[in-house]
Amino acid sequence: MEEVHTREGRKKAGMGTLLELAAITIAFLLLSAVIGTYRAPDFIIFCIYVLGFNLLYGFMGRLSFGHMLYLGTGAYAVTLFAEHISHNPFLALPVAILAGALIGIILGPIIVRATGACFALINLAFNQIGYFLVLVAFSRYTGGEDGMSATFSKVGLFNFGSKPVMFGFSLFCLLLTYYFLKRITTSPYGLLIKSIKENETRVKFLGYNTFIYKWTTFILSTSVAAFAGALSILNYGYVTPSFIDPTRNVEVIFAALIGGPGSLYGALIGGVLYMVISNYLASYIPRWEMFLGIALLIVIFRFRKGVWGYIADRVTRGTEAV
């Protein structure tokens, strides 16, 4: 009987995930119809970046002020691979993800031992170092302030110079990332990292090695961020130090807060809302950042769980009232 219930539960969970993926697909198809296929990949790739950041901040409770370092790692890794080794994008993408994982493996043992403001600022410090290396120390290889272009060959039907192809591929990557993170966050592992966020001391008391779980989560987060950085280069065809600029860390933080940390849907909503504000409001209002700050204050005081958290609470209350 228990096995039957378990199978039924898995089927329901699998069906629910498929419905979520279908809803995300429809939502971004509608978005592309509104903003254009040529702009939609920017929105999708940024949402992937927010998903990776949200795993670290929303689910494990560790705020990073230096996540641009990991985005930039993927961006420069895929560009240098295309420049010196192969123009095949399907070989370059795994290399970029591995580069993101490698920097997480190297820096993780130092960073994850910290908490609170210390954790955030250590990430920022490493981000500043990475920015200096790209801009000055290794400018001979990275192109310095001017950056460098990246050329990718056509593989079968995949010509990433075509915006419809780039849109379809980036949407597939978003769905793949969402599915992967959904499986992780709803697993016992996901429950454990949420418990670390709530009370790490109690988790240690139960006998778990929290350092390993924090390090693993950090590596997963840096890998997803590097994946987003690599996709950005496939989309743009060039890389500049702006992809690793520490001053841009505020973007992903704002997006996660607006959408709702600790929720995959919240990451997607926050990513889209931030891109709408930064891309379209800026066309009409020179000091658009002020309105972004006002929006964040409204979220903090009125929607403490973000837009998606507020919607979920309202739906729950309505269901209970019925």
Looking at residue 4, its pLDDT comes to 47
Q: Report the distance separating Cα 223 and Cα 96, nearest Å.
A: 8
Looking at residue 219, its pLDDT comes to 97
Give tens-digit pLDDT for 23-35: 999 999 999 999 8
Give tens-digit pLDDT for 34-52: 988 889 999 999 999 999 9
State how far Cα 69 lies from the chain centre.
13
Looking at residue 244, its pLDDT comes to 94
pTM attached to this predicted model: 0.92
Backbone angles phi, psi at 217, to 5 degrees: -65, -40
Looking at residue 7, its pLDDT comes to 63
Low-confidence ranges of the chain (pLDDT < 70): 1-13, 318-322
Angle made by CA atoms 171, 35, 234, in degrees to the nearest 5? 40
| CATH code 1.10.3470 for 2-321 | yes
Backbone angles phi, psi at 155, to 5 degrees: -120, 105
In the block, which residue shows the tokens 């997006």? Answer: 255
